[in-house]
Amino acid sequence: MIKRKFKDIAVWVNGEAVGLGVSPVEVAGVSTDTRTIQEGNLYIPIVGENFNGHDFVRAAVENGASGVLWQKNQPNPPADIPLIYVEDTLFALQDLAKNYLASIPVKVVGITGSNGKTTTKDMVTSVLATTYKVQKTEGNYNNHIGLPLTILGLKEDTEMAVLEMGMSARGEIELLSTIAKPEAAIITNIGESHLQDLGSREGISEAKFEITAGLQENGTLVIHGDEPLLTEKVVNIPFHVITFGSSEANDYYPIEIQQKSNGTYFTMNGKGENEFFIPVLGKHNINNALSAIAIAKQFGVSIPDIKKGLETIKITGMRTELIQGKDGVTIINDAYNASPTSMRAAIELLQDLKDYGKKIVVLGDMLELGDNEETFHYEIGKGIDTGKINYVFTFGELGKKVAEGAKVNFSENQVLAYDDKQALITKLKEVVEEGDVVLVKGSRGMKLEEVVNALT
């Protein structure tokens, strides 16, 4: 993590250092939350719509902060605490991260996309870690506050930083990319997430492509080559472009796939040792693995090490997570988030699985889909294969549209819609038996991990 003199930090944030003992003060790490302050941290009080971190400056110092940034327009600055006056504490946080990153010899891989960002981040980290000292974005620290904090948490001897870049509106990924200045970047795909804010898939693709704003000269851009909204943008751009996907038009594509209970085996195109295993389910995760392979090869990781990295990945929870539940029931916990693209991929995964008894889906609302949200949900239900799925459970108001679509092909007693989660759990427990498999998927706000917990 960052360790610098207080006065040097003042230069980086274009601020003015004042207060008792300013000169000898040294900062060790940064925090925007007084609840997580550690000894020696610089506390950065962020001003939000419903909170003001300046109200907690005294508590930050009592908890161990060695100094504080102070926004000039905030009243009553404390006179007995080392302060750095800045125009805006959020901008100062971002400037501090940018300057710290420039001061250490770390290479950055940036990752964005509608789906699969976190899984891809985990895969890229695992393969690079076979050869380099790597740090990655932890949790959901992938926005205009979280990414700078991740950067400021990098150790000075870290060789590779794998940074996830999320968004909710245009301009956000451009900001993150210009802070991080990646040597390489991945766009996993273009889906329907954020349609409510961006209006169309074209708008989403424009927003995701902003990751190139800070991509270094002669950098590498890895994209989903089956997506025309991406491939049309890479003509005559000043970067080395690598494509991955299902079709043979891509630089990296699978030529054979086998899904088993312990994960997914696949053979990639090309010569040499091209058989790989990932301990996660779903053909969509092969795309994530292909992008990780592309990045690893760009940075000189050997094929044996790439294989080792993929075989030992640890995927962040609730993303196609295979769990053994009570009484011999298997659960696929994919409850972290959902969009039509990821929902279809998860259902396809369940449909393709063999050697199970009944196959049951529990699907919740997909949020932030804009004006056509009901149609998206209806089409998801209508697309479920009645020959491969035995029961469809839904939860939420929009989930009822999934159920409505499913009833086009399923009998009434195979489709059950609920707005009471406990009632759903009770009925689900009546239906499931030893040897069955249950897929649980919905947007984060639906909290469908409660269904998973009830089965484990």
pLDDT at position 446 over 60: yes
User: pLDDT tens for residues 400-421?
Assistant: 999 999 999 999 999 999 999 9
Lowest-confidence range among 127-131, 174-178, 278-282? 278-282
pLDDT at position 125 over 60: yes
Give me 336's structure tokens: 């972290």
pLDDT at position 438 over 70: yes
User: pLDDT tens for residues 232-250?
Assistant: 999 889 999 999 999 999 9
φ and ψ of 332, to 5 deg: -100, 105
pLDDT value at residue 307? 97
Q: With contact defined as beta carbons under 8 Å apart, do 71 and 84 qualify?
A: no
pLDDT at position 6 over 80: yes
Q: Which pLDDT band holds residue 20 (cuts at 50, 70, 90)?
A: low
Residue whose C-alpha is closest to residue 166's, from 121, 229, 113: 113
Q: Where are the beta strands (DSSP E) in 138-200?
A: 160-164, 184-187
Residue whose C-alpha is closest to residue 318's, from 332, 305, 339: 332
Type of residue at 247? S
Once rounded to an integer, what is the mean pLDDT over residues 273-293? Answer: 93
User: pLDDT tens for residues 197-213?
Assistant: 666 888 889 999 999 99
pLDDT value at residue 167? 85
Q: Are strands 220-224 and 240-244 parallel, antiparallel or unpaired?
A: parallel
Q: With contact defined as beta carbons under 8 Å apart, do 163 and 136 qualify?
A: yes
> What is the separation, in whole angstroms, between the first and last Cα of the chain?
38
State the average pLDDT for the chain.
92
pLDDT value at residue 434? 95
Give me 303's structure tokens: 């094929």
Give me 232's structure tokens: 């049309």
Once rounded to an integer, what is the mean pLDDT over residues 377-389? Answer: 96
Once rounded to an integer, what is the mean pLDDT over residues 378-393? Answer: 96
User: What is the pTM for the complete model shown?
Assistant: 0.84
CB half-sphere exposure, 17, CA atoms < 13 A? 21
> What whole-number distance in Å separates Cα of residue 112 and Cα of residue 228?
17
Alpha-helical runs (H) found in 193-338: 195-198, 201-209, 228-231, 284-298, 303-311
Name the more confident of 93 and 341: 93
- In terms of C-beta density within 10 A (0-12 exposed, 13-18 middle, 19 or more buried), how is residue 428 classed? buried
pLDDT value at residue 239? 95
> What whole-number distance in Å separates Cα of residue 356 and Cα of residue 338?
24
pLDDT at position 433 over 90: yes
Domains and their CATH numbers in the chain: 3-92 (3.40.1390.10), 104-311 (3.40.1190.10), 321-455 (3.90.190.20)
Say which residues have a Cβ less than 8 Å from residue 69's Cβ, sequence separation at least 6.
13, 15, 42, 43, 44, 45, 83, 84, 86, 89, 92, 93
